[in-house]
Structure 1
């Protein structure tokens, strides 16, 4: 440890400081809303980029369903829906309903059985997918743009006529139980699931998408149908279309295949029926707590620790925290000395990865930044041998402290470039574009164009990272989850005391 700390002092001997300018973006015009990036004076590489992104177009159907369209000249179109029907919205008797919906939503309707649905997809070369999350549920389909009307026909049948039958529930029950067995063999997924559960214990966010085994065995088709009927309402659903289909075409297809009730029969916003089905606001309360499951039969110890962040509630802080996450980075033993930029060894820019390679500290570590609407978790997961827990934890926490005090402009610029590359990559896939728009609209309440995000990332400098780290990381109480041979992991009081320095 003496050699590590001496090496750290050498790396921290030089500090670069610069001014951070904060800008606000966003405007809306008329019935169709869009946001455009402002031009800035100064050096910004994003201003010279030609980003193939059109403004989003919005409209609302006569049944209360909202439509969002991101048109782009493309031969492929993705049409999806997002609903506030995640695991946090499940009642006690409905635990696991959203997960079963992920498996069963495309299984059968009153007009089509599973074989007919598969044949309809094969005729147009389409793909369907669904995903259950903590706070929302998404399902989508991707087809050639010329067959968009056939996709709406199929999705309209699934929404209006979808049914849940006992035989299909019994089949998927075994599939989900098998998935749970696979999760039990993945230490990372175990501790990350535990981390969310203990950090928000006794709140809605503590409900995992994967419930207890007994809940999966007891869930019935009637309970799943009740969960579906409670949330899959027109006024709670939003259509998101990305790719080569215009808003006029989407509106026309939705009116023809999804709306099955007259305008007079659609529930009004003030009706009792609508108010009964509107989900309650996100309920959360962060708890700084330590949870350890010691199992000496495991080869590696898996540890995850995180502090609370504001999530999408403070979007400018969220951008800076994302950059800070990329500064810490990730690494695993499969990365060779001359591997990719996410590889390892002496050629890796991240300090933690450099230590992990040269001192054989850990097998893998991953920095993460999980954000919901009004809260989030920022931290790091790592897996190492039982006798190296203390050293690995010290290196990670020391890197967090360095974010607060001596991070350099070069490191920040590298992380900013990685963030900008990820944002630009979302434009290449209609499915990635759908996820980006749906998550932003649901959790943030608005959508920022890619060009706006790039400009915001360009404005993040080293002093902004130091300020944001001092605000959310320095001297904060973390939540800790550990699994495996964790007897050598320092106790919580020592972990908490390492979150600050008396001399700082």
Structure 2
């Protein structure tokens, strides 16, 4: 229920609005456009808080590739009120934890504490995100840390192959670039460039502050407003930024093979192609399809490749969805000498599913897996907090748990089979990391 309006008469200052959402969650929109979303869970003794910024690696120019991730590191390095040590020690002193992560479309800074310590978490986290001073010495320190992180990532072929696959699909488009940036982009990036990106992009309308746990919504709003006072995010009235638009088609590459030679004990491969955007109504059918194909130990790929033949320890399918694009892939890691056989089996299974479809029993099991994983994933305050923030930031609305489960239940056999035909029939790209010659998979082109 709305308790006040965002815009009063011209002579009166703008006011905040509060609305009750699905499942008892509440959202307050401040005059600046910043949103505060909470869910009260009285049975817990903890609270999770997140400051979510609708800016990620796809918002960077080629020369600033990695800037969002660089910021993720720097915002914990000190403000006008706190040093880096104080930011971490104040939360750890009460047994809490804080961290952050960057994606292609948003960045999250979060903390988990005892319910009584939520005021402290709000003050520390909002201070860090809103008022970073970004000392030049800290920029240089974190530059070295990030370059080590990039090098470490290259030593993890099971992770690297997914980045290669994503680039094979999206090419030079920002969705195809590494979230971390590269050595070539991070090394010359200056403090002024990063600070400018920070102040241009980290605006109140782009930010959602979410909290879940044993809390009171009005109290959280007061705490946030107090922490924001006098910072750059305590800004002039504005409307919240809408969810990222999906109106433009993201260009993709023609299907091709990319082989990255590495002296590894396993061959790592990802086979797949273009998927769908996150607001596409087919996402529920594809979620069910994904579980049937490679979402668990009872999935087709796991049974055929690991259980029956013992050719791979890890094999699974997955779907990644963005505002206006997506991808669908199958990963497998096996002994290099078995990679060809594994790849052939994956292709056979994809073709069989695309041509013959899935059974009614598989449909029921796939729906059960989707529903179970979703509900079981909401058993802690951190996942509840993430659900609130993603719903607000990415969709502009919070779908109730019962509504979401009903959408999964409504998926039909025809919808899953149509999704299988569309996703699994076209020519696909292949990314491989392992001790292979670049032409080793020429037959799979």
Larger Rg: 1
Shift of 1:264: 11
Q: 1:172 aligns with which of 128, 132, 142?
A: 142
Give 2:52's aligned residue. Answer: 82
| Residue 481 (str. 1) matches residue 417 (str. 2) | no
Relative to structure 1, is the Cα distance of residues 303 and 77 closer, same or farther in structure 2, using a 3 angstrom cutoff? same
Shift of 1:455: 1.9
Q: 2:94 aligns with which of 124, 148, 173?
A: 124
Cα distance per residue 1:240-292 (max 9 Å; x no partner): 111122221121112222133799961545xxxx99xx988777222233242
Give 2:8's aligned residue. Answer: none
CA distance in 2, matches of 1:32, 1:244: 19
CA distance in 2, matches of 1:469, 1:107: 47
Shift of 1:234: 1.4
Query: What SS does the aligned partner of 2:382 have?
Result: helix
> How big is the alpha-carbon RMSD for the aligned residues of Structure 1 and Structure 2?
2.8
Give 2:365's aligned residue. Answer: 414
Give 1:69's aligned residue. Answer: 38
CA distance in 2, matches of 1:291, 1:211: 23
Q: 1:55 aligns with which of 11, 24, 33?
A: 24
CA distance in 2, matches of 1:483, 1:168: 35
| Residue 326 (str. 1) matches residue 291 (str. 2) | yes
- How many residues are matched? 425
- Please report the TM-score for the alignment, with normalisation by the length of structure 2: 0.86
Q: 2:153 aligns with which of 183, 198, 203?
A: 183
Relative to structure 1, is the Cα distance of residues 155 and 299 closer, same or farther in structure 2, using a 3 angstrom cutoff? closer
CA contact (8 A) 2:59 2:174 kept: yes
CA contact (8 A) 1:373 1:444 kept: no
Shift of 1:489: 2.4
Q: Describe how 1:288-327 pairs up with structure 2 within 5 A.
A: 288-295=254-261, 297-314=263-280, 316-327=281-292
Q: Describe how 1:323-472 pairs up with structure 2 within 5 A.
A: 323-329=288-294, 348=298, 350-404=300-354, 405-472=356-423
Query: What SS does the aligned partner of 1:140 have?
Result: strand
CA contact (8 A) 1:89 1:279 kept: no
CA contact (8 A) 2:305 2:312 kept: no
Cα distance per residue 1:175-213 (max 9 Å; x no partner): 222222222222221111011122112322122112221
Relative to structure 1, is the Cα distance of residues 398 and 324 closer, same or farther in structure 2, using a 3 angstrom cutoff? same
Shift of 1:368: 0.9
Q: 1:32 aligns with which of 19, 22, 27?
A: 19
CA distance in 1, matches of 2:125, 2:250: 34
Shift of 1:387: 3.9
- Structure 1, 461-470 or 481-490: larger mean CA deviation: 481-490
Query: What SS does the aligned partner of 2:308 have?
Result: helix
CA contact (8 A) 1:96 1:219 kept: no
Give 2:169's aligned residue. Answer: 199
CA contact (8 A) 1:131 1:139 kept: yes
- Please report the TM-score for the alignment, with normalisation by the length of structure 1: 0.77
CA distance in 2, matches of 1:322, 1:101: 33
